[in-house]
Amino acid sequence: MKPLDSKKDYQDYVDKKSPNSPILKNCFNAFWVGGLICTIGQVIMNIAKSRGLSQDICGTIVSIILIAISAFLTGLNIFNKIGKFAGAGSLIPITGFANSIVSPSMEYKSEGYVMGVGGKMFTVAGPVLVFGISTSIIVGLIYLIFNTQNITLV
């Protein structure tokens, strides 16, 4: 079999030639950085609780603070370095969501505040919002229709 005989042969040949990402190293870094971010969140939560705030408000405070830190680090050209190092570890927590909204806002500021920042802000996060919200609605409907025993979630 020669690599250029067919498109499939060439694709197989290229796959063999292309180095894979270092999965073990990436997983390890994602694990400890992701864990660290969650630990920071938990510390903020405990401090808020010790000040006598309710569980609901503490959760909101954690989100607000993590989003603020992540947006700030994005602006300082630091978050992309953390993201490159930690991958999903910094992407999956709410920090990644904040970064995905702030980074296009910065990039497209040159096209103006309305069509640039406003129009392009959700180019990366948009799909997450659309499918996240859609999924919640479907789950909500299932809950509404089939929850005949009046079970309460959470």
Partner 1 sequence: MQKLGKQTIKFDNPPVITEVASIVGPKEANGPLAKYFDQCLEDEFWGEKTWEKSESKIIKETVNMAINKSGIPSNDIEYCFAGDLLNQCISSSFGLRELNVPFIGIFGACSTFVEGLSLGAIFIESCAKHVLCAASSHFCSAEKQFRFPLELGNQRPQTSQWTVTGSGAAVLSQNGDGPFITHITFGKIVDMGIKDANNMGAAMAPAALDTLICHFKDTGRSPSYYDAIITGDLGYIGKEILTELALDKGYNIKSNYNDCGVMIFDKEKQDTHSGGSGCGCCATVFSGYFFKQLNEKKIKRILLIATGALMNSTSSQQGESIPSIAHAISIEM
Q: Does 7 bind partner 1 (CB under 8 A)?
A: yes
Exposure string for 9-29, b = 16+ CB within 10 A, e = fewer: eeeeeeeeeeeeeeeeeeeeb
Minimum distance, C-beta of residue 52 to partner 1, in the bound complex (Å): 35
Q: Name residues contacting partner 1, limited to 43-72 (CB under 8 A).
A: none
Spatial CA neighbour of 105 closest among 82, 74, 81, 129: 74
d(CA 13, CA 25): 26
* Closer of 45 and 117 to partner 1 (Cβ): 117
Q: Does 14 bind partner 1 (CB under 8 A)?
A: yes
Stretch that binds partner 1, among 6-14, 48-56, 131-139, 145-153 (CB under 8 A): 6-14
How far apart are the C-alpha atoms of 37 and 86, rounded to whole Å?
Answer: 11
The values of phi and psi at residue 87, to 5°, are 55, -125
- Dist CA 18 CA 15 (whole Å): 5
One character per residue 21-40, x = contact with partner 1 (rule: CB under 8 A): x----x--------------
Q: Are 70 and 95 in contact (CB under 8 A)?
A: yes
| 3-11, 35-43, 127-135, 146-154 -> range binding partner 1 (CB under 8 A) | 3-11
Site for partner 1 contains 41 (CB under 8 A)? no
The verdict on 110 binding partner 1 (CB under 8 A) reads: yes
Give 63's contacts (C-beta < 8 A, 6+ positions apart): 94
Query: Binders of partner 1: how many residues, by CB under 8 A?
Result: 39
Binding residues for partner 1, per CB under 8 A?
A: 2-4, 7-8, 10-11, 13-14, 17-21, 26, 74-75, 77, 79-84, 86-87, 90-91, 96, 99-100, 102-104, 106-108, 110, 124
